[in-house]
Amino acid sequence: MAITVSRPKLNWSERLYLPAILGGMAITFGHLKNMLLGRTKVTMQYPEQKWDSQMPDHYRGAPALVKDEGGRVRCVACQLCEFICPPRAIRIVPGEIPLGERFAKVEKYPEKFDIDMIRCIYCGMCEEVCPEQAIFLRKDYAITGYTRAEMVHDKEKLIEIGGVMHGLVLKWNEKK
Amino acid sequence: MPNDSQPQLVNVQIDDVWHQFPKGTRLIEACEQAGSYVPRYCYHKKLSSPGNCRMCLIEMGMPKMGPDRKPILGPDGKPEINWMPRPQISCATDVSEGLGVRTISPLVEECRRGVMEFLLINHPLDCPICDQAGECRLQEFSVEYGRQDSRFLEHKVKKPKNVVLGPRVTLDDERCILCSRCIRFCKEIAHDDVLGFVDRGSHTTLTAHPGKRLENNYSLNTVDICPVGALTSSDFRFKMRVWFLKETNSFCTSCATGCNTIIGTREDVIYRQTPRENDAVNSTWMCDYGRLNFAYLERDRRLLEPMVRTENKLQPATWPHAIASAATQLKPYVGWQTAILASGRMTNEELWLAGRLAESLGVTLIDIVPRTGEADDILLSADRNPNTNGARLLRLASGSGTVLQQIKEAVWSGQIQALITLGENPLRCGITPEYLARLPVYVVLDLLANDATAQASVVLPSLGFAEKRGSMINGKGRLQRLNRAVRGPGEARDDWEILRDLVQAISGGNSESHARSGRLDTIEDVFRQMSEAVPEFAGLTLSRISDLGVQVLNGDGKPGNSAPEKMREREPEKQPQ
């Protein structure tokens, strides 16, 4: 069914169009004033100038595996991130920590942990789903490589990007 | 129930609806049949009911009795119910006339929440590393009845973790919720009473009897029935999370019992095999030997491409070349110069085509290799061939192995010039490398490379039980179907396709049997052709065999399988706990 759109009824001053033109000019002159006073934000010259220092806290860069203060890679290979990952970028091969090792109480660790950065869409679901506070999206954004294989971050690379995170819940210490 | 053919029905009200159940039905089963699943941990329908987990508490009532000792009827003509003030467990009660049950009520919900809170007091936060996660009853019911936060401020009780209970089972005592299913299984089904609880209260710990281990051939069933992650399979431990596993209904081919199974795979890798309920075959159990007997499918020794001997060396070949080469090498010999060694591990369809192959070559010396072991009185059969009955039905098995002996002697005397082995290693039945060296033509269809395949003229790589479809008849005459769980490795082909191509290459595409039965494009066509010739399969198709199988032979007098029809169901408890 056709819908009849009623046109707005313009009053006398609106039909003159002058107030709207003046309003637009006011904005233009406002910008001119800001530019003359040096308050206008300008384009950054990216490769030479970087915005790393101004990056917001919620910025989602490359996912990475973090260590806690105790030096333990927090991942226990529960594979929830592998399960939730929408583009299926994550691949984990779980392994068992041998008895007698320093973190043997945790029992399980990732033998292999690969994230295919060509597939990764930086959605942050892996961070959200992680029950162990082990995977976080860090602020690395310039992920490049010459080959597809280079774009797959293996466990060592992920730990290197991740670094040490402080103030996490220490659920696997001996008292608990 | 067990004695009379016409079970007496009783009226039971479940959640305000009246149902009828045979007398003797457990209340918890009745509720489930009526569509109200009652959560439970300790109750298992094939084991006795100790009633110790208290999760299945429900509200129960009996009919109100008038002064004349007759039930008072309500306006709907049904008895009015006198509700008991306290909840009852539904797993240790049988249905009775006029019984009323409420599985959804504020009291029941409160009971379940209370039980869950107690169970979770000492439960560790192991879910991320626990193999049971994803199929854990405690997880499931804590979603429904658990608290978001813990009111427990004290320290949790510490118990042994990572305890090796036996060669195949690892125990985590902290995760145990003391349901005692494993203890009852060992006592009642496996008849190997090695598990028990020690200590008291929160410190109660599951352990094996001192000096004993959980090492019976049924130990991994305790892992299946454990409602939590306390008992884990050492083989499957930490291999793969269960939610990744694709489940394929199949059956075990390690003995003539043919226990129904679920094969858990991910991306063409088999991770585990678990029993599937079928009261006509295996109840809900299977033996450890059969369960773990799948690793050979992924061995390095798998034959991956067809090979043909040229210049006294086995060289990789294409499939058409290998089939044609096998056919031209076999053709010059007349029937009595050729023998076929078939296998009781082949499916009916493959055996049928092996029969056609023998027909096209005029072979009369054809037999399967018997494979026997020690039987137990639970499930494991002495006949370790899964399809001896199929081979007998299709007249490929001599039974006592007399033809086998004849073949062996004929190979030695030089009468046999060409030998075809289908999925069997002739070295295992006394045909040694010296025997094989006398053969001008030796065609092998097999999975794994071995000393015999090294001596072959043509090697045709085939598929294992989890990689193909097909049917087999178990020791009790039940026709069951294998389903494909994974794809075969390399260029290995389905056995029936290899045999079909070989028959066609030998007899020519326009042979009489070919014209008679039409084209064999799919395995369904093979089954159809077979069902036209074998009266036992009349009216069946491969797809029509249900997941629980079809009885095609009568089980009487068939050797090999002593598994009871239905194991321990509703037997009275011999000794109270």
Say what the pLDDT of residue B510 is.
Answer: 55
Is pLDDT of B572 > 50?
no
Q: How many structural domains are present in chain A?
A: 2
Q: Is A106 on the interface with B (CB under 8 A)?
A: yes
In the Cβ-directed half-sphere of B281, how many Cα atoms lie within 13 Å? 30
Could you give the CA distance from residue B460 to residue B496 in angstroms, rounded to a whole number? 12
Mutation target to probe the A interface, by most A beta carbons within 10 A, among B161, B238, B245 is B238
List, as ranges, residues 214-243 from B with C-beta within 8 Å of A. 237-241, 243
B14 pairs with which residues across the strands?
A: B17, B101
Q: Structural domain boundaries of chain B?
A: 9-104, 128-298, 307-551
Q: Are residues A36 and A59 in the same domain?
A: no
Q: Are residues A104 and A19 in the same domain?
A: no
Least confident window among A18-22, A39-43, B58-62, B489-493: A39-43
Tell if the pTM clears 0.95, that is, is over it.
no
Could you give the CA distance from residue B463 to residue B322 in angstroms, rounded to a whole number? 17
Express each pLDDT in B523-554 by its tens digit: 999 999 999 999 999 999 999 999 999 999 88
Is pLDDT of B4 > 80?
no
How far out from the chain centre does Cα B503 lie? Answer: 33
Write down the mean pLDDT value for chain B. 89
List, as ranges, residues 111-140 from A with C-beta within 8 Å of B. 131-132
User: Is residue A172 in a domain?
Assistant: no
Share of chain A above pLDDT 70, in %: 98
Q: Do B238 and A80 touch (CB under 8 A)?
A: no
Could you give the CA distance from residue B452 to residue B429 in angstroms, rounded to a whole number? 12
So what's the architecture of B128-298 in CATH? 2-Layer Sandwich (3.30)
Q: Are residues A152 and A73 in the same domain?
A: yes
Q: Residue B239 is encoded by which pair of tokens?
A: 């291999």
Segments in B343-488 forming alpha helices (H): 348-361, 388-393, 402-413, 433-437
List the single residue in A78, A83, A176 with the smallest CB-CB distance to B129.
Answer: A78
Strand duo B550-551 + B478-482: pairing: antiparallel
Say what the pLDDT of residue B569 is.
Answer: 44
**Biggest distance spanned by C-alpha atoms of chain A:** 88
Mutation target to probe the B interface, by most B beta carbons within 10 A, among A105, A108, A129 is A108
| Residues of chain B with C-beta less than 8 angstroms from the C-beta of A91 | none
Q: Are residues A129 and A60 in the same domain?
A: yes
Is pLDDT of B565 > 50?
no
Could you give the CA distance from residue A107 to residue B226 in angstroms, rounded to a whole number? 20
Nearest alpha carbon to residue B327 among B432, B412, B405, B443 = B443
B551 pairs with which residues across the strands?
A: B478
What angle separates helix B495-507 from helix B348-361, to the nearest 10 degrees?
20
Is pLDDT of B570 > 50?
no
The answer to whether B418 and B329 are in contact (CB under 8 A) is yes
**Residue B468, min C-alpha distance to chain A (Å):** 27
- The interface pTM score, or ipTM, of the predicted complex is 0.83
Q: Are residues A96 and A155 in the same domain?
A: yes
Say what the pLDDT of residue A54 is.
Answer: 84
Share of chain B above pLDDT 70, in %: 93
Q: Residue A87 is encoded by which pair of tokens?
A: 């583009």
Could you give the CA distance from residue B399 to residue B116 in angstroms, rounded to a whole number? 57
The answer to whether B327 and B505 are in contact (CB under 8 A) is yes
Q: Do A80 and B128 touch (CB under 8 A)?
A: yes
Q: Which letter, b or e, does each residue of B145-164 get, where b requires 16 or more Cβ atoms within 10 Å of its Cβ?
A: bbeeeeeeeeebeebebebe
Name residue, tokens 């602020």: A139
Domain with A64, as residue range(s), is: 54-162
Q: Which letter, b or e, does each residue of A61-73 get, where b requires 16 or more Cβ atoms within 10 Å of its Cβ?
A: bbbbbbbbeeebb
Express each pLDDT in B417-429 by its tens digit: 999 999 999 988 8
Q: Are residues A22 and A107 in the same domain?
A: no
Q: Are residues A62 and A131 in the same domain?
A: yes
| Residues of chain B with C-beta less than 8 angstroms from the C-beta of A78 | 127-129, 133, 241
The answer to whether B56 and B38 are in contact (CB under 8 A) is yes
The answer to whether B421 and B462 are in contact (CB under 8 A) is no
What average pLDDT does the segment B289-308 reach?
Answer: 93
Domain B307-551 CATH assignment equals 3.30.360.30:
no
What average pLDDT does the segment B189-194 reach?
Answer: 92
Q: Are residues A32 and A102 in the same domain?
A: no
Give me the amino acid identity at A143: I
What average pLDDT does the segment B329-358 reach?
Answer: 93
Nearest alpha carbon to residue B298 among B104, B492, B168, B48 = B492
Q: Are residues A129 and A82 in the same domain?
A: yes
In the Cβ-directed half-sphere of B558, how many Cα atoms lie within 13 Å? 24
Q: Are residues A106 and A154 in the same domain?
A: yes
| Residues of chain A with C-beta less than 8 angstroms from the C-beta of B125 | 171
How far out from the chain centre does Cα B332 lie? Answer: 44
Could you give the CA distance from residue B311 to residue B16 in angstroms, rounded to a whole number? 82
Nearest alpha carbon to residue A127 among A158, A93, A148 = A158
Q: Please, which pLDDT band fits residue B511 given cuts at 50, 70 and 90?
A: low
| Residues of chain A with C-beta less than 8 angstroms from the C-beta of B161 | 105, 107
Rg (CA), chain B: 29
User: Is residue A6 in a domain?
Assistant: no
Express each pLDDT in B168-179 by its tens digit: 999 999 999 999
Beta strands in chain A (DSSP E): 63-65, 90-96, 108-116, 135-137, 152-153
Nearest alpha carbon to residue A36 among A28, A45, A24, A46 = A28
Fold of B9-104: Ubiquitin-like (UB roll) (3.10.20)
Q: Which backbone phi and psi does B315 adopt, to 5 degrees?
A: -115, 140
Could you give the CA distance from residue B59 to residue B83 in angstroms, rounded to a whole number? 7
Segments in B35-136 forming alpha helices (H): 106-121
Rg (CA), chain A: 26
Q: Are residues A83 and A121 in the same domain?
A: yes
Least confident window among B65-79, B121-135, B169-183, B508-522: B508-522
Express each pLDDT in B428-454 by its tens digit: 888 888 888 889 999 999 999 999 999
Say what the pLDDT of residue B517 is.
Answer: 57
Is pLDDT of B393 > 60?
yes
Is pLDDT of B2 > 60?
no
Say what the pLDDT of residue B568 is.
Answer: 43
Q: Residue B365 is encoded by which pair of tokens?
A: 């010396």
Is pLDDT of B458 > 90?
yes
**Residue B492, min C-alpha distance to chain A (Å):** 27
**Residue A150, min C-alpha distance to chain B (Å):** 24
Q: Do A78 and B239 touch (CB under 8 A)?
A: no
The answer to whether B25 and B569 are in contact (CB under 8 A) is no
Is pLDDT of B194 > 80?
yes
Least confident window among A40-44, A112-116, B103-107, B274-278: A40-44
Q: Residue A37 is encoded by which pair of tokens?
A: 């006073």
The answer to whether B243 and B213 are in contact (CB under 8 A) is no
Q: Are residues A22 and A60 in the same domain?
A: no
What average pLDDT does the segment B294-316 reach?
Answer: 92
Is pLDDT of A161 > 50?
yes
Angstrom distances, CA of residue B549 to CA of B80, B300, B480: 45, 33, 4
Q: Do A107 and B243 touch (CB under 8 A)?
A: no
Residue of B nearest to A109 (CA): B129
Strand duo B365-368 + B338-342: pairing: parallel
